[in-house]
Amino acid sequence: MTPDAMPSLAPLLAAIAQRIGAAHVLTEPADMAPFLHEERGLYQGRAPAVLRPGSTEEVAFVVEACARAGVPIVPQGGNTGLVGGQMPFGEVLVSLARLDRIRAVDPVDMTMTVEAGCILDNVHKAAEAAGCLFPLHIASQGSCRIGGNLASNAGGTAVLRYGNAKDLVLGLEVVLADGRVWNGMKRLRKNNAGYDLKPLFLGTEGTLGIITAAVLKLFPQPAQRTTAFLAVPDPASALALLKRLRGEAGDALTTFELMAAFGVETVLTHMPGTVRPLADRYDWYVLAELSAPTRAFDLGALMEEALGAAMEAGEVLDAVIAASEAQAANLWRLREDMSEAQKHEGGSIKHDVSVPVSRVPEFLERALPACLAALPGLRPCPFGHVGDGNIHFNLSQPVGMEKAAFIGLWERFNRIVHDIVTEMDGSIAAEHGIGILKREELAHYADPVALDLMHRLKAALDPAGLLNPGKVLSNGR
């Protein structure tokens, strides 16, 4: 049934309150507001209630009770998603935030067992305390929660070396659509005992089950790190430099981010305390970092030598290598503050796309003029994980244009950018997911056979369509 056709929820909510505590069943608008307001302001959620279960068993109780009553649910972690996947539009919201225990850290197995509501930064800290590294790093790490990271298969700045969120998972615990719990909390590096069920829930945005806990892979903590900020002539040179650094440093190359001048200048203009890293201004910049868990070789010397050769080859125009932790932190801010800084420049139409790594320059050569032709004065702000072929192709509004009018052009720019991406055999959703923002785009571009398979999975795991309905896939077919 549609949310608006739901019968009175009073008996259901009373039963749930009895189990999880009345204090954790929110129905007052003021109490619910933080869960229904989405940071970018693209969506205003609506929910008859926000439920805050405190354990896997309580989540299972809530889901089963809602399933029996035919009431649809939207699960939510830290409410930081960028595509509206965490927003209810009339459904009951189930917050995982109270499931925030770190159950175990094992530095011999290099694993950590966490509940879905753990804030990502707390996962980092617990790993560090055990002398390990959990390498998922994204801008929202101070408030996003690991369950949401896994459900959306988050990416970030360390994917180049460590993979996406889904690559960092050994085990999962999931509440299924009917309230049963699947306990897949193995901490095994190898397991071919039947179908691997984890991928059903990693990156499927809570539409096939609700992740309540996970066993994460840990890595050795870096013993040394060297960070460089470089000016490059163009994206093709950045790719040549990527190849060079990988050849020299192998897996020690852990970050390689490309940025256009507009984004860097925007950070320098709006973000207090940031410092211009190079004397001159250039069109394109790269943030590169080497790190390794050993001191058996000198990464600083390796970086200097590689950059010297790259400058001789014309791949690099100017470079600075951080001489201190504080300098490194400043260089990182030029990349990490980019989304925040962009807010000061008015509306931003964002695309999170990927193409084969080798085709990033071609993508930019085609997409930039196409967008500028569509709206003179547009200020493109492309940046991102060039080593993954993933560009955040953001477009800041022309100076003086009305923000709402600009945001109204979103679909038009979608068509321009996503047509090019699709022609280049790329993806319209590299690391932010589909949610509601890109659902129609997915339906527009996806192979019909692939869409049919996705709908079959949805029907097999959530036949009543009660889990995060209308996200990723349209209701019905």
- Which parts of 325-364 interact with a copy of itself (CB under 8 A)? 354-358
Tell me: does residue 434 bind a copy of itself (CB under 8 A): yes
96 or 429: whose CB is closer to a copy of itself? 429
Structural tokens at position 362: 């071609």
CA-to-CA distance for 56 and 71, rounded, in angstroms? 19
Of 352, 334, 331, 344, the C-alpha closest to 379 is: 344
Does residue number 390 form part of the binding site for a copy of itself (CB under 8 A)? yes
Q: Which parts of 16-55 interact with a copy of itself (CB under 8 A)?
A: none
* Closest approach of a copy of itself to the CB of residue 317, in Å: 22
Interaction of residue 468 with a copy of itself, rule CB under 8 A:
no
How many angstroms separate the Cα of 408 from the Cα of each of 43, 140, 177, 319, 412? Answer: 14, 26, 36, 40, 8
For residue 300, the minimal CB distance to a copy of itself (Å) is: 12
- Interface with a copy of itself (CB under 8 A), residue from 77, 389, 469, 470: 389
Output DSSP code: residue 23. Answer: G
62 touches a copy of itself by CB under 8 A: no
Residue whose tokens read 């010397």: 301
- Residue 475 sits in the site that holds a copy of itself (CB under 8 A): no
| 385 contacts a copy of itself (rule: CB under 8 A) | yes
Q: Which amino acid is at 173?
A: E
Residue number with CB closer to a copy of itself (15 or 451): 451
Q: How far apart (Å, rounded) are the C-alpha atoms in residues 363 and 234?
A: 13
To a copy of itself, the closest distance from the beta carbon of 313 in angstroms equals 16
Query: How far is 216 from 138, CA to CA, in rounded Å?
Result: 16
307 contributes a contact to a copy of itself by CB under 8 A:
no
**How many of the other CB atoms lie within 10 Å of CB of 272?**
5
Nearest to 139 by CA among 347, 402, 452, 392: 392
Among positions 13, 87, 416, 430, the unique one binding a copy of itself when judged by CB under 8 A: 430
Based on the shown chain and the rule CB under 8 A, indicate whether residue 476 belongs to the binding site for a copy of itself: no
Choice from 239, 241, 328, 378 touching a copy of itself (CB under 8 A): 239
63 binds a copy of itself (CB under 8 A): no
Q: Which is nearer to a copy of itself, 50 or 461 (CB)?
A: 461
Single out the residue of 93, 181, 213, 364 in contact with a copy of itself (rule: CB under 8 A): 181
Minimal distance, residue 8 CB to a copy of itself, in Å: 32
Q: Any idea what DSSP says for residue 316?
A: -
How do strand 73-76 and strand 92-95 relate by DSSP bridges? parallel
Binding to a copy of itself (CB under 8 A): which residues in 275-294?
Answer: 292-294
Q: Which is nearer to a copy of itself, 86 or 396 (CB)?
A: 86
| Contact of 324 with 269, CB cutoff 8 Å | no
Question: Among residues 246, 189, 255, which one has the least CA distance to residue 227?
Answer: 255
324 contributes a contact to a copy of itself by CB under 8 A: no
Question: Does the footprint of a copy of itself cover residue 173 (CB under 8 A)?
Answer: no
> Is residue 312 part of the contact set for a copy of itself (CB under 8 A)?
no
3 versus 81: smaller Cβ distance to a copy of itself: 81
- For residue 297, state whether it binds a copy of itself (rule: CB under 8 A): yes
Segment interacting with a copy of itself (CB under 8 A) among 32-40, 88-96, 196-204, 317-325: 196-204
Residue 91 or 431: which CB sits closer to a copy of itself? Answer: 431
Q: Give yes or no for residue 308 binding a copy of itself (CB under 8 A).
A: no
| Count of helix runs (H) and strand runs (E) in the chain | 16, 19
Distances (CA, A) of 25 to 8, 84, 165: 15, 22, 31
Give me the DSSP letters along 205-239.
TTSS-EEEEEEEE-EEPPSEEEEEEEEESSHHHHH
Nearer to a copy of itself, 333 or 438 (CB): 438
Determine, following the binding rule CB under 8 A, whether residue 179 of this chain makes contact with a copy of itself: no
Lookup: tokens for 324 = 């201190």
Q: Does 88 bind a copy of itself (CB under 8 A)?
A: no
The closest of 379, 415, 374 to 394, measured between CA atoms, is: 379
Can you read off the two tokens belonging to residue 279? 């004397």
Does position 155 bind a copy of itself by CB under 8 A?
A: yes
Confirm or reject binding of residue 182 to a copy of itself (CB under 8 A): yes
Output 127 or 454, the one with its CB closest to a copy of itself: 454
Residues 436-455 that bind a copy of itself (CB under 8 A): 438, 442, 445-447, 449-451, 453-454
* Cα–Cα separations (whole angstroms), residue 398 to 58, 260, 345: 50, 17, 9
Among the listed residues 316, 77, 324, 296, the one whose alpha carbon sits nearest the alpha carbon of residue 206: 77
